[in-house]
A and B are shown apart, each in its own frame.
Chain A
Amino acid sequence: MFPDQFLFGVEVLLNGLMAGVLYALVALGFVLIFKASGIFNYAQGVMALFAALTLVGIMDGQVPFSHLINAIFGMDVHHFGWHVPAFAAILLAMMVMVGLAWIVQYFIFRHLVGQEPIILFMATIGLAYFMEGFGDMMWGSEIKKLDVGIPQGGSFWIEEATAFLGGSNFYGFFIDQLDIVAAVVAIILVVLLVAFAQYTKQGRAMRAVADDHQAALSVGISLSFIWVLVWSLAGFVALVAGIMWGAKSGVQFSLSLIALKALPVLMLGGFTSIPGAIVGGLIVGVGEKLFEFLIGAPFLGGATENWFAYMLALVFLVFRPQGLFGEKIIERV
């Protein structure tokens, strides 16, 4: 038997790891785009929102732009009357995200090749606000329940299997089943992304573009295609993040704020490393949860997680500006 306080600490640590995986899912989208194009995509959080809105809209058979259609044509249409199974809806939502990637590339970034990074960043701010408004017009702003069949709630099995470790005040470790699914999905996602980048022709082209745009162009790699590919992958990651976070809170416009959780992860893991996003996420998740458990809640009145995550990232930034796994930037004069 272990002291209850120690077991509670372990429980907090385990949940911190799980929360870190969810943060990393959001951070991955930022990394993909930054790595391939040098763009810090401010719109990544809104992309997760838009992807989740689209998924729920498709699943529920919602008529897109129904408020607009009804207002202009005096109609009263809201739903098609069908329900699309989750798997098919995810595929359709992914197709929408690929379409969005093409639109973003064709109408915005194609015209901004060679511009300063700050201009590209500003373009993503514009894109974020446009997508938020567009998503509102397309799917409405009410909160929607997202149910793609992922189990939620504490795992009875884990609780019962671990209850014997402590005394009567310890009820076994609480681990949310959704978090377990998210962890498995994140691992699969990272393996697939790394394998794609290492072993496929498009993946190698993507890395070439990331290394040097001009050199990649000179050997016949289509910059335009690669950027569409990267934005599509980021859209896919956004969809996965949107599903996991949307299942927790319902799909609503504050989903776009999950980007705030990704920033310290990026500062820590580096903007160019896929494994860095995962490791950074885990460090932030565990760090903030343990700090809240050991110091924040007992001594500081709680709610320390947000600022502690940024403080932790700041400390890393001071000593290792490129992040844990980021590429060191050396500019020779």
Chain B
Amino acid sequence: MKRLATATVAAVMAAAPVMADLVFPSLSYRTGAYAAGGIPFADGYADYMTLLNERDGGIGGVMTRILECETGYNTEKGVECYEATKGEGALVYQPLSTGITYQLIPKATADGIAIHSMGYGRTSAANGKVFSNVFNYPANYWNGASAVVQHILDVNGGDIKGKKIALVYHNSAYGKEPIRTLEELSKKHGFELSLLAVDHPGQEQKSQWLQIRRERPDYVTMWGWGVMNQVAIQEAVNIRFPMENFIGVWWSGSENDVLPSGDDANGYKAVTFHNVGNNFPVFEDVQKHVVDTGKAAGAGDQIGTAIYNRGFYAAMLAAEAVRNAQAIHGVADITPAMMLDGMESLEITEARMAELGMPNFGPSFKVSCENHGGPGTVGVAQWNASSKTWSLISDFKETDMSVIQPLIEADSAAFAAENNITAGCK
């Protein structure tokens, strides 16, 4: 009898397909100088996947598994993390650093694994004909730069000729990303652009803000990260620069950036490609299935913060791409190659976001081989210091693709030429 039972179990095991986990590496940075930004993103990413496991039993019946690897926001460590985790069946990488993204583009392309650099990384990766494995939907830095100018246009009734706009930027590849777009936009709209570089880490910015005080720009926009953001906002307060005329990119728009300046930061703005706050039905599920059961990645107190929401949104987009891949290929246990198919034909609709308990959490969009960058629609959020909350003060609006698309084409063509890539779709 015992032998019969053993044979039966063995037969069942042989007949049933082995369901591996759906592996999502998380190249996080929970330590070091940038930990305050890295932790909420990693928590949001992990909590969404945990929610799917706890509430739904995974995606399509297959459990998700987060493979977290600490990069310390260091490019070399990020590459090590990639090499250490890619063999585990990694479906998509979120490098969480522009430097790491640049290093992983050729590696992931050679390995047939997808990269999703959402709101960072190489902007021209939006051209899927050249960057077959890299996706940066729903928006990139150049959309961000255009959104800043668009907002200033809106505030000024569409005419900003002769206005002065200063860009305070992290003196790195990341910080320099919007310069070309802003230069093109300044030619188009007739505003005067001044550039102020801040060296890493940005703890001392007196020179830059004295220059701003001397030149009196009408608006200041910022491409900063880490301590640079907090110091810049405090220095703006110190010189009594009007906060409503100070607009950061999404990496300069978290609670971390404004809280140290207290009430003085009231009115500061940041462009964003996802919604803010915790007023979404899905977060009730997170509380019930993840936080209350002690399975949250963090203390559960970051839900609704700007960067937690970004990590959560990135995870939702990854999970939806998995569902899409499962539907395309008719299998639940997908491979990295199938994941690429799922990402390349991903469609996010408002109806689907509402179904997920995330109505208007981000823009509706459809990805294609030609367009890995999504719609490039961006909204503007404003900080309320008394309630300590961000609120979206505009819809996700279209950005100036007449300026951005030629830049994407030119930069991706240069990359294709350098790397002997023949642009095209399958």
Contacts and interface: CB of A to CB of B under 8 A. Distances in A.
Interface stretch (B204-212, B335-343, B411-419): B204-212
A198 interface: no
Contact of A19 (B33, B204, B231, B301): B204
Interface in A34-88: 67, 70, 74, 78
Nearest to B40: A142
How many residues of B sit at the interface, in one of the four size bands?
A: 35 or more
Interface stretch (A104-112, A227-235, A243-251): A243-251
Nearest to A153: B238
B227 A252 contact: yes
A102 interface: no
B31 A249 contact: no
B360 to A, nearest CB: 28
A258 B202 CA distance: 10
Given A254-B203, A254-B227, A257-B203, A142 B260 contact: no
Contacts of B227: 249, 252, 254-255, 257
B36 A15 contact: no
A143 B203 contact: no
Contact of B230 (A12, A78, A252, A305): A252
B35 interface: yes
Contacts of A256: 33
A122 B52 CA distance: 46
Contact of A297 (B30, B200, B207, B234): B207
B171 interface: yes
B239 A174 contact: yes
B259 interface: yes
A169 to B, nearest CB: 8
Interface stretch (B191-199, B345-353, B375-383): B191-199
Contacts of B389: none
B39 interface: yes
Interface of A is mostly: helix
A316 interface: no
Contacts of B259: 143, 145, 250
Nearest to B200: A306
A65 to B, nearest CB: 13
A302 B31 contact: no
Interface string A304-333: 011000000000000000000000000000
Nearest to A70: B299
Contact of B214 (A8, A133, A245, A301): A8
A210 to B, nearest CB: 31
A171 B211 contact: no
Nearest to B30: A141
B201 A254 contact: yes
Contact of B210 (A15, A70, A78, A152): A15
A302 B202 CA distance: 13
**3 closest residue pairs by CB, A with B:** A250-B260, A303-B197, A254-B33
Given A12-B210, A19-B204, A22-B204, 19 more contacts: A74-B294, A133-B31, A136-B31, A142-B36, A143-B36, A143-B256, A143-B259, A145-B260, A145-B262, A154-B238, A176-B206, A252-B256, A253-B34, A254-B201, A255-B203, A257-B203, A302-B195, A303-B197, A305-B204
